Amino acid sequence: MRFRKWLMKQQWRIVQIRGIWGLFYGILLLAITYFEYVPLFASMGALGPFAFSAALLVFFLVLGYLYDRVFIMWAPSQEVSMERNPYQYVPSPKDHIFWFPLYSSLLDMTEELARKYDVDTQYVKDARAYYARLQSLRPERNEDLDIAVKIRDEFIKSHRFVDDNGEQGHR
Amino acid sequence: MHCDTRRCAVVLVKKWIMKQYWRVGTIRSLLGLVLGMFVLGRKYYPYVPILADEGLIGALVLGTLLVFLFMGLGWLYDEKAKMWSQQVQATTERNAYQYVANYKTYAFNYPILYALLLVLNKTLTKLNLSTRAIPDSIAYMDIYFKRKLVKRDIFSALPAAKEYMKKHPFAQGADTAERPIGLRSRIKLGFQVQLLRLTWIQSLTGLLQDVLVFGALYVVLFVPESVTAATDTVPLEYLVLGILFISLPLFMVLASLGWIYDRRLRIWSPDMIVKFERNPYQYLPEPYLHIQLFPFYLALFSTIRQVFMEAGLDATSIDRVLAFLQEYSELDVARTEDMDKAKRLRKSLGVLFS
């Protein structure tokens, strides 16, 4: 296991450096293919591709600044990625193995305490019914993703923390 | 999974394809750097004075030197500079879902938080034990779950959380002042931010760059007479032809394939399933659970157990969950067989939410 971990550490390092290097590699390849057609850089001889690469790099960095600071493009970009992750809708192995047992116990205990003091436990019953449906959904079935979105939206719509009148626990 | 329908078989085939894709990707990431360096060595050795006249040997020497250079850089990046810390920081700060609830938070956390907070609030009110903490928390959650993926909501989330924590600190009198950050860390973070920005722009323009290079290189194959023998270069008019008739059509084809991949085949679903199934932390506790969640849940369940005993309620179910947490926390990602143990441990709890 220690050797395998060592090997994977080397892989991680290679992937990291390759990721960084890959950014410049593409630019260098583009520059060496096209620099001869750009008069300013074509006349520079051996320095031409490097100078063209540097110019492209500066251009990309300016674009990166606009992407990051001006247009905040990372937000919609992550939204697109998030939408395409089935485990955003249906339970992952971790949810089944760790989170659902905890959720189930927390709901049971809360219900028991509430019942002891004669408090309405409908909130717990609703949440339990919701999770019972959710845990039966599988990522392999595309229609399950649609069902997950439907039951999630229904729950949120009918169970709001604070309603329009400012009352807590509207149901 | 039961697979008795044609659609289910299609899903299995897609999953198989994605498994192969994952394997190829893993091997590619291992070999990609080496191959990339040799391609670069072949392209650039004529511009390196000592190696320019050495031909193939020059290309191989330059490629090998670059491989060692980048292996060394990898070691420095990891061991000396520990750049992975600022790398994750730069990425996390620019993760919109660190500020706004994602789909999973709505689907998985909203119902449990809703039920627990509201029932707890009612119970405490009934026992005349109500404090401002629970109603404030409910109001905070209401605002949190109403935030959308827009600039104003994203940038107001952290100040709102800090304001809430000032009002409800973990310990009274706790020092909540922010500690200054050193210059070295700031420089490292600045470097990682620039890299991240380049990554975004490369991912936006990468396909276009690839097809431009492809068009310029392959126009020679389709129009052999386009190469000027004297200079071994392609005249501009042929280059334009290469872009118009190779690069742009190829770009359109690849873009259409992307649409089919996303919309028609929905490959992202089996792709993610394969990745999740190959993540051991999907089955076993990760450091985050040991560091943050186990201490919290241990304290929570132990306290509730005391309350149950005081109230004369049966605490067997709490003992069961405490035993589950104890056993689960002892599982180790270093032992492959513990993944099966984790699955068996979950099954031993029987049907949930019944």
| pLDDT tens digits along B302-350 | 989 998 998 899 999 899 999 999 999 999 988 888 999 999 999 988 8
Q: How confident is the model at residue B7 (pLDDT cuts 50, 70, 90)?
A: low
> What's the pLDDT tens digit per position in B169-216?
877 776 667 778 889 889 999 999 999 999 889 888 888 888 998 888
Burial of B142 (0-12, 13-18, 19+ CB in 10 A): middle
Alpha-carbon distance values, B279 to A93, B231, B325, B329 (Å): 10, 53, 21, 17
Q: What is the spatial distance between Cα B327 and Cα B160, in angstroms, rounded to a whole number?
A: 38
B281 near A CB under 8 A:
yes
Nearest to A64 among B197, B266, B320 (CB): B197
- Residue A139 has a pLDDT of 87
% of chain B beyond a pLDDT of 90: 32
Angle value at C-alpha A154, between A152 and A157, nearest 5 degrees? 105
User: What are the tokens at A86?
Assistant: 């089935």
- In this prediction, residues B155-165 reach a mean pLDDT of 92
The Cα B121–Cα B143 span in angstroms is 18
Q: What is the pLDDT of residue A52?
A: 94
**Residue B28 or B247, more confident:** B247
Decide if A110 and B342 are in contact by the 8 Å CB cutoff: no
Tokens read off for B188: 């490292």
Nearest CB to B307 within list A99, A106, A113: A113
pLDDT value for A53: 93
Torsion angle defined by CA atoms of residues B234, B240, B244 and B250, in that order, rounded to the nearest 10 degrees: 40
Q: How far apart are CA A67 and CA A73, in angstroms?
A: 5
* Residues of chain A neighbouring B210 (CB-CB closer than 8 A): 26
Residues 6+ apart with CB under 8 A from B217: A33
Whether residues A93 and B282 touch (CB distance < 8 A) is answered with: yes
Residue B111 to residue A36, Cβ atoms within 8 A: no
B102 close contact with A: CB closer than 8 A = yes
Angle between helices B56-75 and A2-34 (to 10 degrees): 130
Q: Over B237-273, what HEC string results?
A: HHHHHHHHHHHHHHHHHHHHHHHHHHHHCCCHHHHHH
Please determine, for residue B162, whether its predicted confidence score (pLDDT) is greater than 60: yes
Enumerate residue ranges in chain A where pLDDT < 70.
1, 11, 170-171
- DSSP for chain A reads -HHHHHHHHHHHHHHHHHHHHHHHHHHHHHHHHHGGGSHHHHTTGGGHHHHHHHHHHHHHHHHHHIIIIIS-THHHHHHHHHHT-GGGTS--HHIIIIIHHHHHHHHHHHHHHHHHTT---HHHHHHHHHHHHHTT--TT-HHHHHHHHHHHHHHHHH-EEE-TTS-EEE-
Contact at CB, A86 and B123, closer than 8 angstroms: no
Which 233-252 residues of chain B touch chain A by CB within 8 A? 233, 236, 239
**What single DSSP character describes residue B5?**
S
> Which letter does DSSP use for residue B79 in this model?
I
Q: Please name every residue paired with B228 in a beta bridge, in sequence order, or none if there are none.
A: B233
Q: Where are the alpha helices (DSSP H) in chain B?
A: 6-44, 56-75, 83-93, 103-104, 110-126, 133-146, 151-167, 183-222, 236-242, 248-259, 268-277, 287-288, 294-310, 316-329, 338-347
Query: Is the pLDDT at B131 greater than 90, yes or no?
Result: no
Computed over every residue of chain B, the mean pLDDT equals 86
Inspect the interface and report whether the beta carbons of B115 and A123 lie closer than 8 Å. Answer: yes
Residue B2 has pLDDT above 60, yes or no: no
In contact, A157 and A137? CB cutoff 8 Å: no
The pLDDT assigned to B229 comes to 61
Residues in chain B with CB shorter than 8 Å from the CB of A8 are none
pLDDT higher for B336 or B159?
B159
Among A60, A17, A124, residue whose Cα is nearest residue B32 = A17
Amino acid at B174: A
Residues B339 and A98: their CA atoms lie apart, in Å, by 12
Query: Which chain A residues contact residue B8 at CB under 8 A?
Result: 140-141
- Residue B285 phi/psi, 5° resolution? -70, 130
Q: How confident is the model at residue B60 (pLDDT cuts 50, 70, 90)?
A: very high
Whole-number Å distance between alpha carbons of A128 and A103: 9
Are the CB atoms for B192 and B86 separated by under 8 Å? yes
Contact B58, B47 (CB under 8 A): no
Alpha carbon distance A115, A122 (integer Å): 11
Distance, CA of B279 to CA of B313 (rounded, Å): 40
Assigned token pair, B47: 């511009």
Half-sphere exposure in the Cβ direction for B104 (13 Å, CA): 16
More confident residue, A58 or B232: A58
Whether the per-residue pLDDT at B23 is higher than 80: the answer is: no
Q: Is the ipTM of this complex over 0.90?
A: no
Q: Who among B36, B343, B349 is closest to A25 (CB)?
A: B36
Position B1 scores a pLDDT of 43
Give bridge partners of residue B40 from the DSSP assignment. none
Longest distance between any two alpha carbons in chain B, whole Å: 97
Domain boundaries, chain B: 1-80, 96-167, 183-271, 280-347
- pLDDT > 60? residue B3: no
